[in-house]
């Protein structure tokens, strides 16, 4: 069962059946809002670029800051998990070029893709012509992807799930408040341009806009004051349920099952080795990536954007460090995360012979230390780094890996 913000329990099947009607209702409401704002009129839209009519800027920025403030307020109150909100990945240079192309098209045609649909729905000929151009552009772009150089460019400068908080290394509340203040300054500036260039009568601007602006500032200040949930607070909320998985050993996976998954083409396997760089360089499982335990948070965005058939395995020499990283990833809503049972020490115990164990065993008693000695630091060049998958056939273990579907969105778009 799924609990909605209105606290009505709904099954996944019910939500799935309701989805088309919800999409239709949202689309109609959005289109209606654009139409009554004048966004179906190309003259009104193009007036923004001549500083005569700034409705586009005011409406769009109002939508942006209201949505931003409410999203992060909901996140601060624990109602919404921002990790599950889809944020379009950033491709820097393709994004800049695409913005310039769209901007020129907006000026010349008087519409953007979304507003052309609004205009076309009311049978405006210029909007219909523009919409035909949009579809031709989509077709031409898709055809251009057959050229390797074009594909390479469009996939270049990938920065992942990048937000202003990441760019400026600042708290979410600070960014929210600054963006709101910036938007209000732009609103004031746009009204001055409308008054001076567009010869509009400022006395006709609605007075209630001041109260609305003040309200948004107050809510943004509240977001700053409350603060966003930390990984620690997220885990504390999940601990009553997730801690039991650790206790019952449901997420600690036998080396044999990991080996079988390594050779399963249906699964996208991501192995994160959270040991020290020295231990990793000495020996590690083939294709495992070395990540410092305190660096796991920096990977969250990239991990959440993996395909739905992705399974994450966390490994340390034993289980202590891996368990702490597992808690971090689970708290940050990364799905399908498991721990290598017994860590690298157990992996070596399972996939090396008696001679190796006798000659390379270490007496290191401390927890999460490598308990095998190696003559050289060869990383993944040892035979045990990629054992023969046939070894799994003679093993007895309980399979525990179950793929959990993502909860977040999987797409975005332009209004």
Residue 226, both tokens: 């409350």
- CA Rg value for the chain: 27
Q: Kindly state whether residues 369 and 262 are assigned to the same domain.
A: yes
Looking at the structure of the chain, the number of domains it has is 3
Tell me the per-residue pLDDT of 202-220, one tens digit each, with 9 for 90 and over.
888 889 999 999 999 999 9
Average pLDDT, the chain: 89
Q: Kindly state whether residues 151 and 293 are assigned to the same domain.
A: no
Tell me the per-residue pLDDT of 153-204, one tens digit each, with 9 for 90 and over.
999 999 888 899 999 999 999 999 999 999 999 999 999 999 999 899 888 8
Q: Kindly state whether residues 253 and 281 are assigned to the same domain.
A: yes
pLDDT at position 376 is 93
Q: Kindly state whether residues 25 and 47 are assigned to the same domain.
A: no
**Cα–Cα distance, 54 to 74 (Å, whole number):** 30
Question: Residue 246 class from Cβ within 10 Å (0-12 exposed, 13-18 middle, 19+ buried)?
Answer: middle
Q: Kindly state whether residues 136 and 169 are assigned to the same domain.
A: yes
Q: Kindly state whether residues 46 and 157 are assigned to the same domain.
A: yes
Is 110 inside a domain boundary? yes
Enclosing domain of residue 108: 42-230
Tell me the per-residue pLDDT of 351-407, one tens digit each, with 9 for 90 and over.
999 888 888 887 766 789 999 999 899 999 999 999 999 999 989 999 999 876 555
Return the residue matching tokens 């219909």.
Answer: 128
**Cα–Cα distance, 165 to 210 (Å, whole number):** 28
Q: Kindly state whether residues 24 and 54 are assigned to the same domain.
A: no
Is 180 inside a domain boundary? yes
Tell me the per-residue pLDDT of 275-291, one tens digit each, with 9 for 90 and over.
999 999 999 999 999 99
Is 415 inside a domain boundary? no
Beta bridge partners of 2: 10
Q: Kindly state whether residues 209 and 88 are assigned to the same domain.
A: yes
Is 400 inside a domain boundary? no
Is 405 inside a domain boundary? no
CA distances from 55 to 37, 41, 201, 210, 306 (A): 8, 11, 15, 17, 39
Residue 81, both tokens: 């998990």
Tell me the per-residue pLDDT of 4-31, one tens digit each, with 9 for 90 and over.
444 455 666 777 788 889 899 998 998 8
Which backbone phi and psi does 201 adopt, to 5 degrees? -90, 105
Q: Kindly state whether residues 78 and 51 are assigned to the same domain.
A: yes
Q: What is the mean pLDDT of residues 37-65?
A: 89
**Cα–Cα distance, 190 to 194 (Å, whole number):** 6
Reduced to 3 states (helix: H, G, I; strand: E, B; else coil), residue 288 is coil
Is 404 inside a domain boundary? no
Q: Kindly state whether residues 376 and 323 are assigned to the same domain.
A: yes
> How many Cβ atoms from other residues are within 10 Å of residue 326's Cβ?
26
Contacts of 334 by beta carbon, 8 Å cutoff, 6+ apart: 300, 303, 304, 312
289: CATH: 3.40.250.10
Q: Kindly state whether residues 73 and 20 are assigned to the same domain.
A: no
Is 413 inside a domain boundary? no
Is 371 inside a domain boundary? yes
Q: Kindly state whether residues 23 and 156 are assigned to the same domain.
A: no
pLDDT at position 411 is 47
Residue 319, both tokens: 């289980």
Q: What angle do CA 183, 32, 41 make, to 5 degrees?
A: 75
């Amino acid at each position: 069962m799924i609990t909605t913000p209105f606290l009505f329990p709904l099954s996944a099947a019910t939500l799935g059946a309701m989805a088309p009607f919800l999409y239709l209702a949202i689309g109609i409401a959005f289109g209606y809002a654009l139409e009554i704002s004048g966004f179906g009129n190309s003259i009104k839209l193009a007036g923004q670029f001549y500083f005569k009519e700034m409705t586009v800027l005011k409406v769009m920025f109002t939508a942006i800051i209201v949505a931003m403030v409410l999203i992060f307020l909901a996140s601060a109150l624990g109602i919404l998990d921002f990790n599950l909100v889809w944020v379009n990945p950033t491709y820097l240079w393709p994004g800049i070029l695409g913005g310039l192309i769209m901007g020129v098209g907006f000026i010349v045609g008087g519409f953007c893709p979304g507003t052309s649909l609004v205009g076309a729905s009311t049978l405006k000929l210029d909007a219909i012509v523009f919409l035909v151009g949009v579809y031709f552009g989509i077709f031409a772009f898709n055809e251009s992807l057959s050229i390797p150089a074009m594909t390479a460019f469009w996939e270049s400068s990938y920065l992942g799930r990048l937000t202003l908080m990441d760019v400026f290394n600042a708290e979410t509340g600070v960014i929210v408040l600054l963006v709101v203040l910036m938007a209000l300054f732009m609103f004031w500036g746009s009204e001055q341009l409308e008054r001076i260039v567009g010869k509009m009568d400022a006395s006709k601007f609605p007075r209630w806009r001041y109260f609305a602006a003040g309200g948004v500032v107050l809510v943004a200040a509240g977001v700053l004051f409350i603060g966003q949930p930390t990984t620690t607070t997220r885990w504390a909320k999940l601990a009553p349920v997730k801690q039991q998985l650790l206790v019952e050993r449901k997420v600690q996976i036998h080396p044999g099952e990991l080996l079988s998954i390594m050779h399963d083409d249906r699964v996208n396997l991501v192995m994160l080795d959270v040991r020290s760089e020295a231990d990793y360089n000495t020996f590690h499982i083939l294709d495992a990536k070395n990540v410092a335990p305190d660096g796991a948070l920096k990977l969250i965005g990239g991990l959440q954007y993996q395909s739905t058939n992705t399974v994450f395995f966390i490994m340390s020499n034993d289980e202590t460090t891996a368990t702490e990283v597992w808690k971090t990833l689970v708290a940050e809503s990364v799905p399908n995360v498991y721990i290598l049972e017994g860590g690298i020490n157990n992996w070596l115990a399972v996939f090396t012979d008696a001679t190796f164990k006798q000659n390379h065993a270490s007496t290191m008693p401390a927890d999460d230390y490598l308990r095998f000695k190696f003559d050289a630091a060869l990383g993944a060049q040892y035979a045990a780094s990629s054992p023969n998958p046939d070894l799994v056939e003679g093993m007895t273990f309980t399979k525990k890996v179950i793929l959990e579907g993502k909860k977040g969105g999987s797409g975005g778009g332009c209004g």
